[in-house]
Amino acid sequence: MNALAATNRNFRQAARILGLDSKLERSLLIPFREIKVECTIPKDDGTLVSYVGFRVQHDNARGPMKGGIRYHPEVDLDEVNALAQLMTWKTAVADIPYGGAKGGIGCVPKELSLSELERLTRVFTQKIHDLIGINTDVPAPDMGTNAQTMAWILDEYSKFHGHSPAVVTGKPVDLGGSLGRESATGRGVVYAAEALLNEQGKQIKDLTFAIQGFGNVGSWVAKLIHEIGGKVVAVSDITGAVKNQNGLDIPALLSHKEATGKLNDFGGGDVMSTDELLTHDCDVLIPCALGGVLNRENADHVKAKFIVEAANHPTDPDADEILSKKGVLILPDIYANAGGVTVSYFEWVQNIQGFMWEEEKVNRELKKYMTKAFGNLKSMCQTHSCNLRMGAFTLGVNRVARATQLRGWEA
């Protein structure tokens, strides 16, 4: 099942549990605005090439729309739609005053030079600058984009609207980015895992972890778990996978990855197949890569007792059912990976105030938001006798529905 179908299915189930009016349900599902633009740029050799860019603005009942921009060859309108909708529920679950949006350009960033990426980003910004803004829609980095991409968007946007640091988040610190933003998604995942495990009477330091994906999120999750005393027994990314049942030396693995660009050939562990990681023997599995990695083919072989969804939509609905029957507790993406957007909110607040926070304050506030959100999620589970995913969806959908009704959506 693709991401949009799965997201819609979860939304409809939450709407049924909440007893939403059918007209309101339909209204919440339809995106506020879909934007599709052509971005033509000269390549370094002088030839012209065109790319298609998207921005889906899903809902603004609770505040400006918020969501990343990804550069990836598989970016299409369906995927961007699903991710925009997920952002609406995610910001509501985290209880930050945003709606949901998402954007992307169908390209292969590795095949473009830095100057080509800059030209592409600037052309995309020129096409959408009048539809984004501090109080309208605030983009952020996502797969294939980074702080530098946000710096280009800020600069291009400011040519039209004056200096506007709050128009994007995830910027370099020198341009008004927040301290703690780089580690925020990974740190939020760890705070979320702590909240779940504490509720189960367990602690990170006593458990084993397998982490799929070793980019920004996965590497921070591994680093922080290692620092707390948890045992990371397996790690994988597109370059390969390594395991060590006594626990991998994460600082050494990070240095090896930085030096060689891959996980293979690491002396402190044994090579394994990347597919094997999802079914590796561990207490907690943390998928931090692409969506749909847990499916009906492999779900039955998962040995982990807990799954913390650091990626967007890593578990498809078939796998969800199989894993639930096995008694696996799944902490859903719309809560577990909300650390990034929460610290993006802190960055936006700092930019608007013109007053920057210490990193310690950023991390302290993030822990407060993640812990409070888990408590709210659990109370929805108890109220509606549902699992953690439906607890998160009912929490998010209920907040957006209430805001929509209070604003007078039928007027």
Detail the residues annotated as belonging to a binding site.
66, 90, 185, 216, 344
Distance separating alpha carbons of residues 167 and 158, to the nearest angstrom: 9
Contact 324, 294 (CB under 8 A): no
Alpha helices in 200-272 (DSSP H): 216-228, 250-260
- To 10 degrees, the CA torsion angle through 175, 177, 180, 183? -100
Amino acid residing at 345: Y
382, with CB counted inside 10 A (0-12, 13-18, 19+), is exposed
In angstroms, rounded to a whole number, what is the distance separating the alpha carbons of residues 193 and 290?
19
Token pair in block for residue 87? 């952002």
CA–CA gap between residue 27 and residue 119 (Å, rounded): 37
Q: Which helix (H) or strand (E) holds 356?
A: none
Candidates 23, 36, 43, 102; catalytic one: 102
Beta strands in 129-239 (DSSP E): 137-141, 208-212, 231-237
Known active-site residue 102 = yes
Task: Classify residue 215 as exposed, middle or buried by CB count within 10 Å of its CB (0-12, 13-18, 19+).
Answer: middle
Q: Please give the annotated binding residues for substrate, written as ranges.
A: 66, 90, 344
Catalytically annotated residues: 102
